Amino acid sequence: MARRPEYQAPPEIFYNESEAKKYSQNSRIIGIQSEMSERALELLALPEDAEGLFLLDIGCGSGLSGESISEQGHHWIGMDISAAMLEVAIDREVRGDLIMADMGDGVPFRAGTFDGAISISALQWLCNVDKSYHHPVKRLAKFFSGLYAALSRGSRAVFQFYPESGDQVDLITQQAMKAGFTGGLVIDYPNSAKAKKMFLVLFTGGQQRLPSALGTENEVNHAQFTKREKVRTRNSKNVKSRVEWIKEKKERRRKQGKEAKPDTKYTGRRRAGHGF
Amino acid sequence: MKLLTHNMLTSKAIKGVQTGFPLNIVVKKTKTVETEFSSEFIQRMLPKLDWPAFLKAAQTLGVGSQLPDSPPTETTDETVLRSIHHALVEVEVIEGELICPETERKFPISNGIPNMLLNEDEI
Ligand SMILES: C[S@@+](CC[C@H](N)C(=O)[O-])C[C@H]1O[C@@H](n2cnc3c(N)ncnc32)[C@H](O)[C@@H]1O
């Protein structure tokens, strides 16, 4: 197997003119990138009838992924660290607008700008230490918190990526959760060395069902991550609802001959003015 | 760089910068690329736009004269929407600069692409 690109040079060096050329001329690469982009857009689950949404393409490169967005009638901004890749995108006259930026420094847009984000084959680069001052955990944290802010509430971000190990997947998902996202991994064709593709699907609007993976028959093909404290459910035997708990506590006090306010329909209700 | 992008872009990634918006524009060269008009898209973007920033940027690029002083509401005729479309997504800054309103840090725009890369001491 070829050495992983991430081991060879920093992205702005690795994606030089000759590498960038492949992303406009090599039909095999173009085919793979486009196919993954379309799958990512499917996982983004944009409202069926919505045309003209505004999306972010992270690590947009020569704009192959962005073109899939344009084909579906949506608008996009692409950000990438490589000048050579962006030049190719300009030459190909992609419809999206482009900025040169390092996602590890954050996502430099106003809050709530985008209706969704995709990223194809770029996220694993953030785990690199390419400069002496690079700290992957910090860069991932900056990136995900910046992305979370730049997305409108209820929207999603979908990343196709090539993690080098399970530890790297954990590192990435942990930082995504810390930033406020929920979601998990969707692994298409998990049993095929060639066709296997990993997607990190992130939600801004609280826990949702993960979409199902392709190429899997009746097996567990995705891993949802949740914060521990959120897993507690009301219905489970040992956990009582807030109201039940308060009523029982009052009952105990009464039995002990102590004072307790009578139960009313307001018992255990949250008071106005308190967020929850 | 289209003004739509400019209206969303900030320099808040710089350490110590609070909002970093709106970035001031220095224009050296612009280009107009006709794009398909969609009233649906423009109307969808209207609530997201920072109107004063859009107006100022459009004036800097010399395409602000047709724009209303405040963002149009519900009953908007197509002429107004088309002038917004023109300024928002058809005119592009090809060469120039963006300037951080808080630190004066300059971000060059070349070949239509703003370079927002930061140095070690800025992050
Ligand atoms: C394999 S290419 C994919 C490009 C495009 N998404 C596609 O599907 O054709 C990965 C891209 O990620 C970009 N990239 C890597 N690290 C980055 C970073 N820290 N910030 C922004 N872009 C980055 C690279 O410059 C490169 O263009």
**pLDDT digit string, tens, across residues A128-187:** 888 888 899 999 999 999 999 999 999 999 999 999 999 999 999 999 999 999 999 999
Specify the pairing of strand A116-120 against strand A156-161: parallel
Mean pLDDT of chain B: 95
Ligand 1 centre to CA of B23 (Å) is 25
User: Which pLDDT does position A276 carry in this prediction?
Assistant: 34
User: Which pLDDT does position A233 carry in this prediction?
Assistant: 39
In a domain, B42, yes or no: yes
- Both A187 and A210 in a single domain? yes
In a domain, B72, yes or no: yes
CA distance A238 to A191: 39
CB-count burial class (<10 Å; 0-12, 13-18, 19+) for B112: buried
**pLDDT digit string, tens, across residues B12-50:** 999 999 999 999 999 999 999 999 999 889 999 999 999
- Both A171 and A238 in a single domain? no
Pocket test for ligand 1, best of A8, A15, A118, A197 (most atoms within 8 A of CB): A15
Range of the domain at A256: 227-276
Instruction: Give the residue, by CA position, lying nearest to ligand 1 atom 13.
Output: A59
How many domains is chain B built from? Answer: 1
Is A124:A159 a contact under the CB 8 Å cutoff? no
Answer whether B15 touches A (CB < 8 Å).
no
In a domain, B123, yes or no: no
- pLDDT tens digits in sequence order for chain A, 276 residues long: 467 898 888 999 999 999 998 888 899 999 999 999 999 999 999 988 888 899 999 999 999 999 999 999 999 999 999 999 999 999 999 999 999 999 999 999 999 999 999 999 999 999 988 888 889 999 999 999 999 999 999 999 999 999 999 999 999 999 999 999 999 999 999 999 889 999 999 999 888 889 999 988 656 566 777 554 443 334 443 444 556 656 766 776 777 777 777 776 666 555 444 333
Q: Is A80 in the pocket of ligand 1 (CB under 6 A)?
A: yes
Residue of A nearest to B108 (CA): A100
Chain A window 97-136: which residues touch B at a Cβ cutoff of 8 Å? 97-102, 105-106, 108-110, 112-113, 131, 133
User: Which pLDDT does position A128 carry in this prediction?
Assistant: 85
Look up residue A109 and give its DSSP letter. Answer: B
Q: What's the token pair of residue A201?
A: 């699907």
Range of the domain at B8: 3-117
Q: Is A103 in the pocket of ligand 1 (CB under 6 A)?
A: yes
How many domains is chain A built from? Answer: 2
User: Which pLDDT does position A267 carry in this prediction?
Assistant: 63
Of B35, B38, B112, the CB nearest to A90: B112
Instruction: Give the residue, by CA position, lying nearest to ligand 1 atom 9.
Output: A64
Q: What's the token pair of residue A183?
A: 């979601």
B39: Cβ–Cβ under 8 A, 6 or more apart, which residues?
Answer: B78, B81
Ligand 1 centre to CA of A120 (Å) is 8
Is A126:A140 a contact under the CB 8 Å cutoff? yes
User: Which pLDDT does position A259 carry in this prediction?
Assistant: 72
CB atoms within 10 A of CB A249: 12
In a domain, B122, yes or no: no
User: Which pLDDT does position A4 carry in this prediction?
Assistant: 87
Q: Do A54 and B10 touch (CB under 8 A)?
A: no
Q: Do A105 and B123 touch (CB under 8 A)?
A: yes
Mean pLDDT of B49-67: 96
**pLDDT digit string, tens, across residues B69-121:** 999 887 678 899 999 999 999 999 999 999 999 999 999 999 999 999 999 99
Specify the CATH number for the domain of residue B69. Answer: 2.20.25.10
ipTM attached to this prediction: 0.96
User: Which pLDDT does position A230 carry in this prediction?
Assistant: 40
- Both A137 and A245 in a single domain? no
Q: Do A86 and B113 touch (CB under 8 A)?
A: yes
Specify the CATH number for the domain of residue A24. Answer: 3.40.50.150
CA distance A243 to A269: 7
- Both A111 and A174 in a single domain? yes
- Both A209 and A185 in a single domain? yes
